[in-house]
Amino acid sequence: MSRRLVIGTRGSPLALWQAEWAKATMQRPLSGVEVDLKIIRTSGDRDQTTPLGQLGGRGVFTKELSRALLAGEIDLAVHSLKDLPTDLPEGLALGAVSPREDPRDALIARAATSFEALPQGARIGTGSLRRRALLLHGRPDLRMEDLRGNLDTRLRKLETEGLDAIVLAVAGLSRMGWAGRITERLPFSVCLPDAGQGAIGIEVRADDAEALQAVSVLNDGDTHCSVTAERALLKALGGGCQVPIGAWGRVEDGFLKLDAVVASVDGKRVIRDCSEGTREAPEEIGKGLAERLLKAGAREILRGG
């Protein structure tokens, strides 16, 4: 392959880490191939104050990259997969999914040693409706504060805004070398992660055979299977950043297992269920579990009831 490949990425330190990982991993087997990075600013980067749930859903960190891909300005886009909408623009495809980092959420506290040890009425910073709802379900006494910005910005706000704790993804902290800041990796029983959390998604043009072949070295089969089920569930529920939905898929002993939760924004109502089946049918497992959640009461929650 003699083609030059251009990777589109956001400009945050974490996004650049992910893009550099993709570049280095592709270049090893594709000796002689030139791979460059192009930074593209997204609407989510430009607006660092509006709560994510009000900005327009999952595409706020990805739609400009997708447009550049369709326009031929870049050859692939590297995303935190949890930010990528389940419905991709026509002509684009999810070409690869990275091996998954720990998908859990991380509590970073100023003084407390665990989630349960947080003081009564503690102020918790998070920009995620899902985290807000699930943490309030476990601790209705907590006071949730909106938190935006890059990882380093949010870590600083823990001190500068007088918060008792903040909640971030373990994956981002680990990739940036900040895992030592984690007070507690929140158990799945407390906080199921966002669909795709911990995985890097590589978006390409569906008809670009060379790019698809190049990114295949980035793909991890078990992770791809797991997040396919999670994203199928999310799509079947019609959810995005505006609705608290958590999903955790994993391949164990050759089977695909999927846990999911739908919660009201205030955390008072939570519908949770799990499913498992053959790893060859991830979409069916995701859709089937979504249907069970809807029948159990999730439909009313999703409608705002």
Region of 295 please: left (phi>0), alpha (psi -120 to 50) or beta: alpha
Of 272, 223, 231, 219, the C-alpha closest to 251 is 223
- Catalytic, 83? Answer yes
**From 75, 83, 164, 208, the catalytic residue:** 83
CB-CB contact of 25 with 217 (8 Å): yes
Which residues does 167 contact at the CB level (< 8 Å), separation at least 6?
105, 106, 107, 108, 124, 125, 126, 128, 131, 135, 186, 191
Burial of 160 (0-12, 13-18, 19+ CB in 10 A): exposed
Residue positions annotated with a catalytic role: 83
